[in-house]
Structure 1
Amino acid sequence: MSQKSKSIYGGQAVIEGVMFAGSHVNVTAVRRKNDEIIFYEVPRTTQRWIQQLKKIPIVRGVVGIIDSSAKGSQHLNFSMENYAEDEAKEEAAKNPEAQPKPEKEQKSGFSLSMIVGVAVAGVLSFIFGKLIFTAAPAALEELLFSNVFESKIGHNLLEGLIKIILLLAYLYLMSLTPIIKRLFQYHGAEHKVISAYEAGEKLTISNVQKYSRLHYRCGSSFIIFTVIVGVIIYSLPFFTWDSIWERIYIRILLLPLVLGISYEVLRITNAMRDIPVLRYLGYPGLWLQLLTTKEPKDDQVAVSIASFNRMRELDQQMTNIKA
């Protein structure tokens, strides 16, 4: 079966696990300390007006990113709760004198209000992060190199370079921590499973491990495209500034446009990945993934396969019910 005839799936790494998004359900599989794999399954419910917005080029990118941030944060929180519970039990075993809280108090579960709260927090953290990542490099370039170039294009290129340096430094330092290194390994496992599925392979550990941990349709690629697209848009002749505040103000106003166009670029590079020469358009994103993914171990790939298979199983069941 060719890739074009297959459904397109995406996912994300979580703490000690992987989430996959299907047509009707999002599923996270997490490996506990006792080697048990548990699942968190959330039906995909999207308002009709959001579905309509997702059909509009450029707009669909912004809507999709915010929607994914909200839903992804729920699954990340689930994985963090279980990880914290396992860590607490392990600490209690090392220190028997400590009195751990009863399990009912340690893990409160997911009420509707909690799910909504986590989703809102996820969206707000995404927006805040994008604002900082947009404003800080512009401010730094203006303060440190305001007299270096007369051309706005030169300033924009230097701003883009500062963004990339800050991004690479942040990702590198994060990857040095054990928990983030394992998160990046699960990120690689997620990519391998999707690549194996798209190639029509049977999803076994040995088959999946043959594939690259890099994938054209990755959020990491999207991040680097926002830098490149931003430099191009900010350099257009009608986006000029006379002060640092005007410069930051313009960047923030243009942020939705930059995100929307970057999403379309990501779609285009994914569609062209099998075309000679044009496939290189997606290489900047793949290079960044060298930092945001790591080679996974077999047990991590097994969790990713379990998540993907469970998502496909539930997706099929829901499709049959709606048919």
Structure 2
Amino acid sequence: MSGKRRVKVLGGRAGYNYVSFTGEKYQALSQLKNGKITTETKVNREDKKITIILSNIPFVRSFSMVFELLIEHWRRFIVAAIVLILMELLFIGRSNSIFLYTIPINNLEMLLGLLVIAGLIIKISPIGKYHGAEHMTVSTYESGLNLTLENVRRQPRVHKDCGTSLAVSIVLCFSILSLILDDSVYVFLLAWSIGYELWRGEPKVIWSLILVIGKVTQYLLFTSKPQNRHLIVAIEALKRLEEKELEN
């Protein structure tokens, strides 16, 4: 796997015991289970017509991504909704036997709190190690180096294209808009739309700042130092993706 690369890696993802990479035609997912690595490759699903239409409309296309994520990860959204409801009951509702008084908290504090909690959960779980391994492996590949443990270990565990930068972009937009407009869910939707456009367009000056904050956030919260087994899983996934893409 040396020389000029002919495969374009469009995205990557890490989970509790797996790493997956997506190419132009296929997706490869490798997972470690019972001490063995298994890899599954599948054809990328076609975008729905409504998604294609929405994706071409500025400031609206951000919601096409939400639509896709809701379909693909509906279970996770249910869990997130339950967490939000519990936080609402604990921190915003009436005082109860646990607290002597209610803790005032606005939507920005809630958003930052959720981001930190999610990051800490990822950080201390295997997801953080697989996430770091995903970044290190794709960085090795993009640099044109052989996908060996030695080469991958030298790479940073943060990546410029990580979705964390999108989250940072949205939070920054929400912070600014909250100072101008009312603190409401509509402000969050507007921040989501503008933040997505910043993430997609990457305007030079603004994006440089967002990227720095995003990388720091990745390092501190959303990744942790992977061990060899995490790196091997990520390497296997990317190798299988390359093989499959080059076969067709």
Segments of 5+ residues of structure 1 without an aligned counterpart are: 74-119, 147-157, 241-246
Question: 1:121 corresponds to which residue?
Answer: 75
Determine which of 136, 144, 152 is the counterpart of 1:192. 136
1:296 and 2:226 matched: yes
1:135-150 paired onto structure 2 within 5 Å = 144=103
1:13-32 paired onto structure 2 within 5 Å = 13-32=14-33
TM-score, structure 2 as length reference = 0.76
Partner amino acid, structure 2, of 1:281: I
**How many angstroms apart in 1 are the aligned matches of 2:46 and 2:83?**
26
1:210 and 2:158 matched: no
Task: Specify whether residues 125 and 255 from structure 1 end up closer, same or farther in structure 2 by C-alpha distance, changes over 3 A only.
Answer: farther
Question: 2:170 corresponds to which residue?
Answer: 226
Task: Specify whether residues 262 and 161 from structure 1 end up closer, same or farther in structure 2 by C-alpha distance, changes over 3 A only.
Answer: same
Question: 1:264 corresponds to which residue?
Answer: 197
- Shift of residue 162, structure 1, vs aligned partner: 5.4
1:36-185 paired onto structure 2 within 5 Å = 36-39=37-40, 41-68=42-69, 70-71=71-72, 73=73, 120-122=74-76, 124-125=78-79, 128=81, 144=103, 160-161=108-109, 163-172=111-120, 175-176=123-124, 180=125, 182-185=126-129
Task: Specify whether residues 279 and 307 from structure 1 end up closer, same or farther in structure 2 by C-alpha distance, changes over 3 A only.
Answer: same
1:286 and 2:215 matched: yes
Task: Specify whether residues 69 and 186 from structure 1 end up closer, same or farther in structure 2 by C-alpha distance, changes over 3 A only.
Answer: farther
Task: Specify whether residues 173 and 14 from structure 1 end up closer, same or farther in structure 2 by C-alpha distance, changes over 3 A only.
Answer: closer
> Deviations along 1:156-203, whole A, 9 cap, x unmatched?
xx7535532453245325644xxx2x1110000111122222222222
CA contact (8 A) 2:14 2:20 kept: yes
CA contact (8 A) 1:70 1:122 kept: no
CA contact (8 A) 2:39 2:237 kept: no
Segments of 5+ residues of structure 2 without an aligned counterpart are: 94-101
CA contact (8 A) 1:160 1:228 kept: no
SS at match of 1:195: helix
- Shift of residue 216, structure 1, vs aligned partner: 2.0
**How many angstroms apart in 1 are the aligned matches of 2:169 and 2:130?**
23
SS at match of 2:31: strand
SS at match of 2:61: helix
CA contact (8 A) 2:9 2:24 kept: no
Task: Specify whether residues 169 and 125 from structure 1 end up closer, same or farther in structure 2 by C-alpha distance, changes over 3 A only.
Answer: closer
Partner amino acid, structure 1, of 2:241: M
CA-based RMSD: 3.7
**How many angstroms apart in 2 are the aligned matches of 1:17 and 1:310?**
14
TM-score, structure 1 as length reference = 0.60
Task: Specify whether residues 232 and 294 from structure 1 end up closer, same or farther in structure 2 by C-alpha distance, changes over 3 A only.
Answer: same
Q: When you count helix as a share of all residues, which structure comes out higher?
A: 1
- Shift of residue 278, structure 1, vs aligned partner: 6.1
**How many angstroms apart in 1 are the aligned matches of 2:48 and 2:162?**
25
Q: Which segments of structure 1 move beyond 4 Å, counting only runs of 4 or more?
A: 122-126, 129-136, 143-146
SS at match of 1:262: helix
1:308 and 2:238 matched: yes
Partner amino acid, structure 2, of 1:227: V
Question: 2:96 corresponds to which residue?
Answer: none
Question: 2:97 corresponds to which residue?
Answer: none
Larger Rg: 1 or 2?
1
Question: 1:102 corresponds to which residue?
Answer: none
**How many angstroms apart in 2 are the aligned matches of 1:185 and 1:211?**
14
Aligned length: 237
Question: 1:104 corresponds to which residue?
Answer: none
